[in-house]
Amino acid sequence: MRERLVVIGNGMASLRFLERLTEAAPGLYDVTVVGAEPVAAYNRVLLSSLLGGEVDEGACAFRGLDWYESHGIRLITGAPVTQIDRENAMVIVGEAHVLPFDKLVLAVGSLPIRLPKPGMDLPGVLTFRDLADVAAIRRAAVAGAKAIVIGGGLLGLEAAVGLARLGVDTTLLHVMDRLMERQLDHAAADLVKRAMESRGIRVLLEADTATIEGEGRVERLVLSDGTVLPADLVVMSVGVRPNAGLARDAGIEVGRGIKVDDRMTSSDPRIFALGECAEHRGLVYGLVEPAYEQAEALSRHLIGEEAAYAGTALSTSLKVSGLPVFSAGQIEAPDGAETVVMSDPGLGLYRKLVIADDRLIGAVFVGDISEQGWCKSLIRSGERIADRRDDLMFGRAAPQAQSLAA
Amino acid sequence: MNAHVPDPVPVTVKTTCPYCGVGCGVLATPDGQGGAAIAGDPSHPANFGRLCSKGSALGETLSLDGRLLHPSVDGARASWDAALSTVADGFARIAAKHGPEAIAFYLSGQLLTEDYYVANKLAKGFIGTPNVDTNSRLCMSSAVAAHKRAFGSDTVPGCYEDLDEADVIVLVGSNTAWCHPILFRRMVDARTRRGTKLVVVDPRRTQTGEEADLFLGLEPGTDTALFSGLFVHLAETGAIDRRFVTEHTADFEAALERARTIAPDVPATARATGLAIADVAAFFALFAATPRVVTAFSQGVNQSAQGTDKGNAIINCHLATGRIGKPGCGPFSLTGQPNAMGGREVGGLANMLAAHMGFSAPDVDRVRRFWDAPAIVTGEGRKAVALFEGIRAGTVKALWVIGTNPLVSMPQADTIRESMGQLDLYVVSEAVDDSDTVRARGRTTVLLPALAWGEKDGTVTNSERRISRQRGFLPAPGEARADWAVMADVGRRLGFGAAFRFDGPAAVFREHAALSGFENAGSRDFDLTGVGAITDAAYADAAPLQWPLRDSGDGQARLFADGRFFTPDRRARFVAVEAPALASAPSPDFPFVLNTGRVRDHWHTMTRTGKSQRLSAHRAVPFVEIHPDDAAAAGLANGDLARVATFHGSAVLEVMVTAGVRPGSLFAPFHWSDATASDARVGALVRGVPDPVSGQPELKATPAAVAPVAYRHRGFLLARAPIRPPAGWWWARATVQGGSGLQFATQDSSREVALAMRGLFQGLDVADYADHGRGRYRCAVYDEGRLVACLALAPSAERPDWEAEKAYFAAPALEPSARRALLSGRAETASAGPTVCACHGVGLDVIAAAIAAGAGSVEAVGAACRAGTNCGSCIPEIRKMLPPALARDAA
């Protein structure tokens, strides 16, 4: 009899894991996937495009229900798991399902954070995490509405762009002195800010929200400096925390996320975690790339291949409102390090390499992120780069760049 | 940009080029915007419609940028009345206190004949100073002296048609291909048409030498030995025209005897000149066997401490063979300047009086009577070198410089510049508002705005004695006035009104022509009697004329075919020349021989050609040519900077390694000044020993040393307006399309340069690339999207090239790829297009190429170029790019 493999969560990490597993070893496991959302895994990265109306829901879909069926996967949607019963090796979904497992994969993602400020629970204060959020925001974003997005990280920027594209008067608040401060230095962040502003988004930095007010519904937001901003809609995008409550309740070892080893194995050798809910070597990732690498590693491990996940070099590659942005490694030069910078603000172009002892230790690119793969591999390998600085900065000759892009 | 006031009715005007002595006809068609379309005049007998690079670019030099437009006294703007009162009162006071000889005029081969005439008359006839000299002293006064010694007159015997009809043309000390390009075209045409052989005699293998059938790269200063050897060879091989020599010449034997002591035979000639015996023999045989031979010479002969002897050594060979004054043969001085000949005609040099008359008592008396000038001078004045020495010595108290830049072009120019402060009165008539000469100050300094080419009106004479009209086709800008009118005004203020009542250039010309014919009757070569009564209308329309123009008014193309010269006995003279020896020999401290000269596309001190971006592109920095062996020994490579030093001064020049210069020789162009470069006043390096006969200084053989100069960084800066470089930088300025360019070298760090740029362009959008760890910095400055400046800096060895950036700078708008290329310094490459896949950095064009190559689905595109294989957020975009049918299948 085949082993029973239960996967909790049907997000992007979960789907990539299922794809890799069933490609490599079709039918090896009796697989059941149980997801809280009412639909099968979709492309969460496209939510901002969906919000802005650039794509429809169909474009966000990855695999149809027929794919799950044809790959022998039992998919249960709209089913939030309520308990993991380790003693009996069962996953319990309220009164609806009891799913016994031999192996269990937790791919339950993360939960949006709500700031602990007065008025945070007023109707019209929303988060931006899933299809339901998008639908809620779109309902609130009527013509003439004033929207405020709190949070100048990637998701906040994308939410603001989506809102602006809907024609909503949008203000983005960020408590730090620059956008995306963990990924970008000041110059790069300033370009991103310019790009946001060119979309008609008002960006307020060092804007600390004090309260959200309104009679039965959000009407205004007050900053700690007393500024009052009228608002019909507030989107909270101040970060996420790993969704580790289920595991914690089950007595699985949890730090910030569910602690796993290089084989994505939790403190219970039958139970694995991947994606944003997992904590690997003390790090919790919030991006799709490490989740995919983890899915790769776990799928190989579960079919008996030698596999280990060694962590993902911290890097970000994305587009903010069509503006490509890349950041990896150290974004500011530590003492003794040097930088190479190319900047053309009028062109929305910024490229910085951070170099210490002839080794690349960081890179920040805006507007043109070519050679970003090479940068990542050089940061990882620590190779000397003396004769490659120009190529890293300006790009190698085109054909080579494509074939070698890591 | 500054421009002349629009002229309502543009018509094409026939005029004459203001550059070299070829004197090409130019058709100028004003555009009504202050500029003009320029073309060669097909009907002009000098050029038949052709123009060289400089002439063709005249239209780029007409803007009023950098023009002197108002008089000033001691730096403060003044009325003409006040300025000329200062001049006239100063002259009167100085003449009264120190005598009129304390007043000196330094004129120019750029002046029109009419300007020259009034200057000469004012100084020599009325102020009473013989101290009138001109930059022509630096140009062809040795040719003048050689002519006078041989012919008894300053006569160019032949004409340009002789170049068309010669079978051998010997070019001596003349880079004709660069300096008289239109004549060189005629020579090359003759070679094509009739097989004319070109022999080039020059210590430097110039572009002209490259074109030669026989190149004789002799040692500097040994021309006299070569032509002495030739003279002996002609005598010993029966090539002498015995009858001509006997009937029409004198002193043959003495000259031949002297030649024998210098170069008795071919091997001795080869030894004396450093040439191969076979080359010397080939040259002698060719010359001896060819009746139609023209020997054309210019500055390599003239600018020498033995220049007059060099000229006579050449003329001796033509007299000996009777090859003079006949079609296709003769000695031919190619004059450097557009109106050196006109200056000679009016007598505007210190050793001439007027109209080819000197200081013999009858000549002085004749001119005194003609001018009604009781105070006329009776003897020679100070030639250029002595004139400026007189200033330093304090005997010359007032100097009026008209139309030239002696503080750049004179030998020992730094010493001369320092001495200007001793002048009680320093007057400069100029068209430009910044030159080293304009910057200088006397105790009192008067600047007078002059008309420039295209504005002034008069005549010039070219190398073949052809007088052509230079006509104005643009209005006088600002308060600028004609030089002749200004000098006539000063004459009136000094109380000589009756002698200066000219109502226009035609009136000046008539008097000049009348003086040439006054009591002449064939006794003097220069005679314009035929046009002495020319009306204003006829003058206005005058076609080019060749003198002598005796009664009939028909010009004479050649002289001396009849064997009658202008010596008292009408016989030509052979001259016994001195053996060649450099005036200053190289020494252990100064082991090289420094030669100076021109580049193809610049003229004199660049005050006009420097305004043209086309002409500034050919050679944008001052340079020194050095032989590869010498460069290696000195540790110099092409493009390095080197300090070239002589006893008199030094300059820092870019090294150009070339086998075209002899080992032991250096060559540097003299065009750059403090107005155009930081440290390239080559004139200051030149010793300038004057020729004992002509007074022309030696500009082509100063002992010199050369050593590398190390700067940390080299770079360039392009800007819309000239930028003053920071102190301590080495730099050279060049006009570029749409602005002004600097090539520079600096000890500053790239960080300091970056800061300086930020400071210079505050408030504008600065894009830059900084790799300070490697000393690299590039920046581009935009003003509302328009490129207004760009800079590149790199370690010295790399010397950033600016050709691509110049093209961007000239472009009306820049594509993003061009803006990036400005920062990278790399050629624009096929761009990957706007990024579609952010995760893998894949651009639109790359995806399009993958699809074009057959990728028919999102997955196939991903397999081909990785786009869309990570987060997948770009998949909708990729899908849209697929052909509709495929996109549907893929969906």
Contact B52, B58 (CB under 8 A): no
Q: Which helix (H) or strand (E) holds B15?
A: strand B13-16
User: How confident is the model at residue B595, as a pLDDT?
Assistant: 97
DSSP symbols for A163-183: HHHTT-EEEEE-SSSSTTTTT
pLDDT tens-place string over residues A261-290 = 999 999 999 999 999 999 999 999 988 889
> Is the pLDDT at A99 greater than 70, yes or no?
yes
User: How confident is the model at residue B874, as a pLDDT?
Assistant: 79
> Is the pLDDT at B702 greater than 70, yes or no?
yes
User: How confident is the model at residue A400, as a pLDDT?
Assistant: 36
User: How confident is the model at residue B29, as a pLDDT?
Assistant: 96
Q: Decide if B876 and A370 are in contact by the 8 Å CB cutoff.
A: no
> In three state form, how does the secondary structure of B282-342 look?
HHHHHHHHCCCEEEEECHHHHCCCCHHHHHHHHHHHHHHCCCCCCCCCEEEECCCCCCHHH
Give the Cα separation of B259 and B226 in Å (integer): 10
* Phi and psi torsions of B836, nearest 5°: -105, -55
> Is the pLDDT at A399 greater than 50, yes or no?
no
Residue A225's Cα: distance from chain center in Å?
31
Residue B2's pLDDT band (cuts 50, 70, 90): low
Cβ-based contacts of A339 with chain B (< 8 Å):
770
Tell whether B817 is within 8 A of chain A (Cβ).
Answer: no
Q: Nearest chain B residue to A405 by CA: give it.
A: B840
* Phi and psi torsions of B806, nearest 5°: -60, -40
A340 closest CB neighbour out of B771, B816, B842: B771
Give the Cα separation of B819 and B642 in Å (integer): 34
pTM for this entry: 0.87
> Is the pLDDT at A163 greater than 80, yes or no?
yes
B829 closest CB neighbour out of A372, A373, A398: A398
Contact B73, B82 (CB under 8 A): yes
Q: What percent of chain B has pLDDT over 70?
A: 98
Q: B74 in the Ramachandran plot: left (φ > 0), alpha (ψ -120 to 50) or beta? A: left
How many H helices and E strands in chain B?
33, 34
Q: Decide if B871 and A394 are in contact by the 8 Å CB cutoff.
A: no
User: How confident is the model at residue B839, as a pLDDT?
Assistant: 73
Q: For the sheet with B739-746, list strands across it.
A: A315-320, A323-329, A359-366, A349-356, A338-344, B765-771, B776-783, B786-795, B713-719, B739-746, B730-736
Token pair 């500024």 is at which residue? Answer: A227
Residue B263's Cα: distance from chain center in Å?
34
Q: Decide if A394 and B782 are in contact by the 8 Å CB cutoff.
A: no
Cβ-based contacts of B769 with chain A (< 8 Å):
340-343, 393
Pairing of strands B776-783, B765-771: antiparallel
Helices (H), B548-679: 613-618, 628-634
Length of chain A: 406
Give the Cα separation of B875 and B881 in Å (integer): 10
Higher pLDDT, A286 or B163: B163
**C-alpha atoms less than 13 angstroms from C-alpha of B72 in its C-beta half-sphere:** 16
Token pair 């970060």 is at which residue? Answer: A239
User: How confident is the model at residue B880, as a pLDDT?
Assistant: 81
Give the Cα separation of A107 and A113 in Å (integer): 18
Cβ-based contacts of A322 with chain B (< 8 Å):
834
Give the Cα separation of A233 and A167 in Å (integer): 13
Q: Decide if A43 and B871 are in contact by the 8 Å CB cutoff.
A: yes
**What CA dihedral angle connects A330, A334, A340 and A343, to 10 degrees?**
70
Contact B253, B236 (CB under 8 A): no
> Is the pLDDT at B577 greater than 50, yes or no?
yes
Length of chain B: 891
Tell whether B824 is within 8 A of chain A (Cβ).
Answer: yes
pLDDT tens-place string over residues A108-137 = 999 999 999 999 999 999 999 999 999 999
Token pair 């790019």 is at which residue? Answer: B881
Give the Cα separation of B701 and B685 in Å (integer): 11
Structure token digits, residue B498: 């009756």
From the list B550, B553, B341, the residue with the least C-alpha distance to B459 is B341
Token pair 């004003």 is at which residue? Answer: B30
User: How confident is the model at residue B689, as a pLDDT?
Assistant: 96
Give the Cα separation of B352 and B285 in Å (integer): 39
Give the Cα separation of B699 and B595 in Å (integer): 7
Min CA distance, A166 vs chain B (Å)? 19
Lowest-confidence pick of A56-65, A222-231, B249-258 = A56-65
Tell whether B783 is within 8 A of chain A (Cβ).
Answer: no
Asked whether the CA dihedral B209, B215, B220, B224 is positive or negative, the reply is negative
From the list B335, B303, B354, the residue with the least C-alpha distance to B113 is B354
B17 class by beta-carbon count within 10 Å (0-12 exposed, 13-18 middle, 19+ buried): buried
Give the Cα separation of B150 and B324 in Å (integer): 12
> Is the pLDDT at B831 greater than 70, yes or no?
no
Contact A353, A374 (CB under 8 A): no
User: How confident is the model at residue A405, as a pLDDT?
Assistant: 33
User: How confident is the model at residue B9, as a pLDDT?
Assistant: 61
Min CA distance, A310 vs chain B (Å)? 19
- Cis peptide upstream of residue A112 (ω within 30 degrees of 0): no
B325-335 mean pLDDT: 96
Q: Decide if B840 and A62 are in contact by the 8 Å CB cutoff.
A: no
* Phi and psi torsions of B140, nearest 5°: -145, 25
Segment 57-116 of chain A within 8 Å of chain B by CB: 59, 62
Residue B6's pLDDT band (cuts 50, 70, 90): low
Structure token digits, residue B249: 């010449």
In single-letter form, the type of residue at position B11 comes to: V
pLDDT tens-place string over residues B661-700 = 999 999 999 999 999 999 999 999 999 999 999 999 999 9
pLDDT tens-place string over residues B98-127 = 999 999 999 999 999 999 999 999 999 999
Give the Cα separation of B248 and B572 in Å (integer): 6
Residue A52's pLDDT band (cuts 50, 70, 90): confident
Give the Cα separation of A153 and B861 in Å (integer): 30
Q: What percent of chain B has pLDDT over 90?
A: 88
> Is the pLDDT at A401 greater than 50, yes or no?
no
CB count in 10 Å sphere of residue B30:
24
Query: Which residues, in sequence order, are bridge partners of residue A241?
Result: A111
Segment 360-399 of chain A within 8 Å of chain B by CB: 368-373, 389-390, 393-395, 397-398
Q: Decide if A340 and B839 are in contact by the 8 Å CB cutoff.
A: no
A405 closest CB neighbour out of B769, B785, B840: B840
CA distances from B649 to A52, A146, B440, B441 (A): 73, 75, 18, 21
Which residues have C-beta within 8 Å of that of residue A344, sequence separation ≥ 6? Answer: A350, B767, B768, B780, B819, B820, B823
From the list B583, B599, B597, the residue with the least C-alpha distance to B702 is B583
From the list A316, A323, A307, A260, the residue with the least C-alpha distance to A107 is A260
